[in-house]
Amino acid sequence: MEIIDLHCDVLLKLTTLEEPKFRNDSRLHANKERLQLGQVKAQVFAIFIDPEIPQSMQFLEVMRQIEAFHTQVLQTEGMVHITEWSQLDTLAPHEIGAILSLEGCSAIGEDLTKLSAILDAGVMLVGLTWNEENAVAYGAEQDASLGLKPFGKEVVNMLNERDIIIDVAHLNEQGFWDVLPLAKHIIASHSNARAICDHPRNLTDQQAKALVEHGGHIHLVYYPHFIGDNATMDDLIEHIKHLASVVGIEHLGVGSDFDGIDMTIKGLAHAGEAQNLLEMLREHFSDEEVRGIAHNNFKQYLKKGAGT
Ligand SMILES: [Zn+2]
């Protein structure tokens, strides 16, 4: 069963590892061969900038990752750059869709021209922050009471004008509440349930409900730290069951975070094992519900707005 995965950090590895090969490099959780093996039909590739990189160098780093997306990912046979969501419906059987996202806006500083240039590269989803503070808002590891900054509203306006999906996965709580009524298209690309694992990267039930009320979906993340102590696939399924009970299973999907995570759960060590999760989900949910989580819910989400 095909999977649409809303988050991985392969681009970071492609710009930091020595002589990486996207096709089959075993150091990559989500290389081409593994995506194919795991029946990942479309993969979001995040541009992620390490906050340790000086501000003045960050935009260049974004460009390096976009360049790696072109020279490594898109140069690999069968990879297709998705710049219109409708392309997801026309991929040939051997093709895999590659979607760009921006994980945090720190690299743009206070310059909308930089954001515009990044969007022109074909970015389809934008997170306002990673875990730190930037000129736009405050990340999940900052004070939860600090909200969206004035420049953040300008950023949200530009994203709305260009029909970009705003990703709240790494935003702090007040930022989330401020963005919610402003965003035209909103999603949490890789977050779990705070009620099951109390981590600031996870969504409270209240946030999950409000997100879905505003047309958003929640894509669950495979990272053990956001699942719970000694996390197993069963524990990840507890998050899915919980959020399904809170917002409805038809609003859920997956965002693995492969290549952005330093540990994995057993049975989900890399993209090639992605079908294992679906197999276990079939013990709890109908085939139609599993198909929804795997890819169909996201396609329905696009039909409601972002894809048109
Ligand atoms: Zn992340």
CATH number at residue 166: 3.20.20.140
CA of residue 283 to ligand 1 center, whole Å: 29
For ligand 1, the distance from its centroid to the CA atom of residue 142, given in whole angstroms, is 15
Tell me how far the alpha carbon of residue 217 lies from the centroid of ligand 1, in angstroms: 16
Classified as helix, coil or strand, 26 is coil
> How far, in Å, from the CA of 9 to the mean position of ligand 1?
8
Neighbours of 37 (CB within 10 A): 15
How far does residue 150's CA lie from ligand 1's centre (Å)?
24
- Per DSSP, the three-state class of 138 is strand
Question: Within 10 A of 274 (CB to CB), how many other CB atoms are there?
Answer: 25
CA of residue 39 to ligand 1 center, whole Å: 22
CA dist 51 → 26, 89, 131, 163 (Å): 26, 36, 9, 27
Model pLDDT for residues 127-149, shown as the tens digit of each residue? 999 999 999 999 999 999 999 99
Mean pLDDT of the residues in the chain: 97
> What is the mean predicted confidence (pLDDT) over 271-279?
98
Q: How far does residue 172's CA lie from ligand 1's centre (Å)?
A: 13
b/e code 162-185 from CB counts within 10 Å (16+ = b): eebbbbbbbbbbbbbbbbbebbbb
Measure the CA–CA gap between 56 and 54, rounded to whole angstroms: 5
Q: Which residues, listed in sequence order, are joined to residue 98 by a DSSP beta bridge?
A: 43, 81
CA–CA gap between residue 147 and residue 37 (Å, rounded): 42
Structure tokens at 38: 């795991």
Domain coverage including residue 45: 3-306
CA-derived radius of gyration, the chain: 18
Segment 168-218, tens digit of pLDDT: 999 999 999 999 999 999 999 999 999 999 999 999 999 999 999 999 999
Supply 266's token pair: 């057993």
Contact 5, 42 (CB under 8 A): yes
User: What is the token pair recorded at 188?
Assistant: 């949490």
For residue 138, report the distance from its CA to the centre of ligand 1, in Å. Answer: 14
The rounded Å distance from CA 191 to ligand 1 centre is: 9
> How far, in Å, from the CA of 7 to the mean position of ligand 1?
8
Strand pairing partners for 101?
Answer: 46, 125
Structure tokens at 249: 């299973």
Note whether 11 and 245 are within 8 A (CB): no
DSSP 204: P
**Residue 30: how many other CB atoms lie within 10 Å:** 27
Going from the Cα of 226 to the center of ligand 1, the distance in angstroms, rounded, reads 11
Beta-strand runs (E) in the chain: 3-5, 40-47, 79-81, 96-103, 123-127, 165-167, 186-188, 217-220, 252-254
Each residue's pLDDT tens digit, 29-55: 999 999 999 999 999 999 999 999 999
**Would the pTM of this model clear 0.95, i.e. be above it?**
yes
Ligand 1: distance of its center to the CA of 170 in Å?
Answer: 6
25 Cα: distance to centroid of ligand 1 (angstroms)? 22
Averaged pLDDT for residues 50-77: 97
d(CA 176, CA 276): 32
Q: Which residues pair with 40 in a beta bridge?
A: 3
Distance 169 CA to ligand 1 centre (A): 7
- Looking at residue 305, what is its pLDDT? 82
- The total domain count for the chain is 1
- pLDDT of residue 308 exceeding 60: no
Number of neighbours of residue 258 by Cβ within 10 angstroms: 30
User: d(Cα 200, Cα 92) in Å, to the nearest integer?
Assistant: 40
* CB atoms near residue 62 (< 10 Å): 22
